[in-house]
């Protein structure tokens, strides 16, 4: 008897290897994928504006980065003795106004540079629910604990999401026509919005991506990786969630990563990934006697393995 409905996934046509340059944008689930890529020392650049949950926030960042728009004092505000920007996560916030502006503009420049050279861009959408700041009528990426009465909560329609994703693809392709864009929907449950509201939100994202890929010409369409479906239809059990019953646990993340690796990582990288993992485990090893001859030889061998790897891929560092 079968007690699981395994999703059969096929290898994509343009998988990445250690020569790839990867960018990630979006919800906290993209952080998990990035941590895996970073552990295996792929050349990856993640969430320059911090975690962004909705497609409008991601569109705003990419638009400003490609147009090289600079942030000024009119784009930031102070609350609770810290300076914030509605476009960015609080990770970029600061006690000093100039530091925040520097963080934002440095991130814009870095994003612009990375977008022009990225071979693969992974965009994880978390929710269709957005908050519109009443004073400016602009959708924000983060509310920064500004009183809720200053926002209007809004569910993006499928049409608005498609328009945002189309704009994202068009903008990226205008500076990097050969890059591969991969969309996925985060399996993290946004239950603060409500059970039904979360389901509707995810449904809008999934419908928008599906329609976009179906109707777009080959040159501008994105790809889709079913992380949401793997979590909800394959794993489908609370033992794969953290204690909050909202976020996937380590077992689930590792399983989804294995599926992602099967689909999007080239088979010729397997041996290199094993070498990297051997080095990572060696670096994490805690010896009983650090001064022993055996451990000193272990360190020499480890340094040799690192040097050989870095000769082939100079960007790798441990």
Q: What is the CATH number of the domain that holds 149?
A: 3.40.50
Judge if 103 and 199 occupy the same domain.
Answer: yes
For the segment 21-65, what is each residue's pLDDT rounded down to a tens digit? 999 999 988 999 999 999 999 999 999 999 999 999 999 999 999
Domain end call among 223, 244, 265: 265
Within a domain: 17: no
Compute the distance between CA of residue 36 and CA of residue 32 in angstroms, rounded to an integer. 7
Backbone angles phi, psi at 239, to 5 degrees: -70, -10
Would you say residue 269 has pLDDT above 70?
yes
Judge if 138 and 237 occupy the same domain.
Answer: yes
Within a domain: 12: no
Q: How far is CA 142 from CA 76, 161, 166, 260, in A?
A: 12, 18, 23, 28
Nearest Cα to 116, choosing from 69, 176, 75? 176
Compute the distance between CA of residue 153 and CA of residue 298 in angstroms, rounded to an integer. 57
- For the residues 237-261, what does the mean pLDDT come to? 94
Judge if 49 and 131 occupy the same domain.
Answer: yes
Tokens of 94: 């600061």
Within a domain: 6: no
Within a domain: 179: yes
> 272: domain range?
268-318
Judge if 122 and 230 occupy the same domain.
Answer: yes
For the chain, how many structural domains are there in total? 2
Please write down the long-range contacts of 278-283, taking CB distance under 8 Å and 24 or more positions apart: 278/305, 279/305, 279/306, 279/309, 279/318, 280/39, 280/318, 283/318
Judge if 164 and 275 occupy the same domain.
Answer: no
Within a domain: 114: yes
Would you say residue 214 has pLDDT above 90?
no
Would you say residue 296 has pLDDT above 60?
yes
Lateral strand order in the sheet of 223-224: 44-46, 22-26, 120-125, 180-185, 223-224
Would you say residue 213 has pLDDT above 80?
yes
Within a domain: 254: yes
Judge if 160 and 301 occupy the same domain.
Answer: no
3-class secondary structure, 94: strand
Q: Cβ of 10: how many Cβ atoms within 10 Å?
A: 7
Within a domain: 242: yes
Backbone dihedral region for residue 41 (phi beyond 0: left; psi -120 to 50: alpha; all else: beta): left
Tokens of 65: 């980065």
pLDDT for 218: 58
Would you say residue 216 has pLDDT above 80?
no
Judge if 154 and 42 occupy the same domain.
Answer: yes
The answer to whether 25 touches 111, Cβ cutoff 8 Å, is no
Q: Which residue has the tokens 């096929």?
A: 10
3-class secondary structure, 110: helix
The answer to whether 140 touches 133, Cβ cutoff 8 Å, is yes
Backbone angles phi, psi at 185, to 5 degrees: -110, 130
The answer to whether 29 touches 53, Cβ cutoff 8 Å, is no
For the segment 65-75, what is each residue's pLDDT rounded down to a tens digit? 999 999 999 99
Judge if 176 and 97 occupy the same domain.
Answer: yes
Judge if 308 and 242 occupy the same domain.
Answer: no
Compute the distance between CA of residue 72 and CA of residue 30 in angstroms, rounded to an integer. 28
Nearest Cα to 29, choosing from 256, 243, 204? 256
1 pLDDT band, cuts 50/70/90, is low
pLDDT for 217: 63
Least confident of 3-7, 65-69, 103-107, 125-129: 3-7
How many residues belong to the chain?
Answer: 318
Within a domain: 98: yes
Lateral strand order in the sheet of 138-139: 138-139, 129-133, 151-155
Domain end call among 249, 265, 281: 265
Domain end call among 265, 286, 308: 265
Q: Which residue has the tokens 């693809």?
A: 169
pLDDT for 287: 86
Q: Which residue has the tokens 């928008």?
A: 208
Judge if 237 and 314 occupy the same domain.
Answer: no
Judge if 212 and 74 occupy the same domain.
Answer: yes
Judge if 278 and 246 occupy the same domain.
Answer: no
Would you say residue 142 has pLDDT above 60?
yes
Compute the distance between CA of residue 288 and CA of residue 147 in angstroms, rounded to an integer. 54
């Amino acid at each position: 008897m079968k007690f699981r409905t395994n999703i059969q996934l096929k290898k994509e046509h343009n998988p990445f290897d250690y020569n790839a340059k990867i960018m990630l944008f979006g919800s906290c689930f993209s952080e998990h994928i990035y941590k895996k890529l970073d552990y295996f020392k792929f050349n990856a650049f993640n969430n320059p504006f911090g975690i962004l949950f909705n497609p409008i926030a991601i569109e705003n960042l990419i638009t400003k980065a490609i147009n090289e728009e600079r942030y000024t004092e009119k784009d930031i505000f102070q609350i609770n003795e810290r300076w914030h920007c509605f476009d960015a996560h609080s990770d970029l916030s600061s006690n000093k106004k100039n530091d925040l502006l520097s963080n934002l503009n440095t991130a814009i420049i870095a994003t612009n540079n990375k977008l022009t050279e990225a071979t693969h861009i992974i965009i994880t959408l978390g929710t269709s629910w957005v908050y519109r700041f009443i004073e400016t009528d602009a959708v924000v990426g983060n509310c920064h604990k500004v009183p809720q009465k200053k926002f209007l909560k809004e569910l993006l329609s499928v049409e608005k999401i498609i328009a945002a994703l189309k704009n994202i693809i068009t903008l990226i392709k205008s500076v990097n026509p050969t890059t591969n864009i991969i969309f996925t929907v985060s399996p993290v449950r946004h239950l603060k919005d409500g059970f039904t509201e979360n389901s509707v939100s995810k449904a809008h994202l999934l419908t928008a991506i599906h329609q976009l890929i179906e109707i777009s010409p080959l040159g501008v369409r994105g790809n889709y990786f079913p992380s949401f479906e793997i979590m909800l239809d394959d794993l489908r059990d609370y033992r794969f969630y953290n204690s909050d019953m909202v976020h996937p646990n380590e077992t689930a993340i590792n399983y989804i990563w294995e599926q992602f690796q099967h689909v999007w990582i080239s088979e010729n990288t397997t041996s290199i990934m094993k070498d990297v993992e051997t080095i990572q485990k060696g670096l994490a090893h805690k010896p009983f006697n650090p001064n022993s001859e055996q451990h000193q030889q272990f360190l020499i061998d480890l340094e040799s393995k690192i040097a050989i790897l870095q000769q082939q891929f100079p960007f790798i560092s441990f």
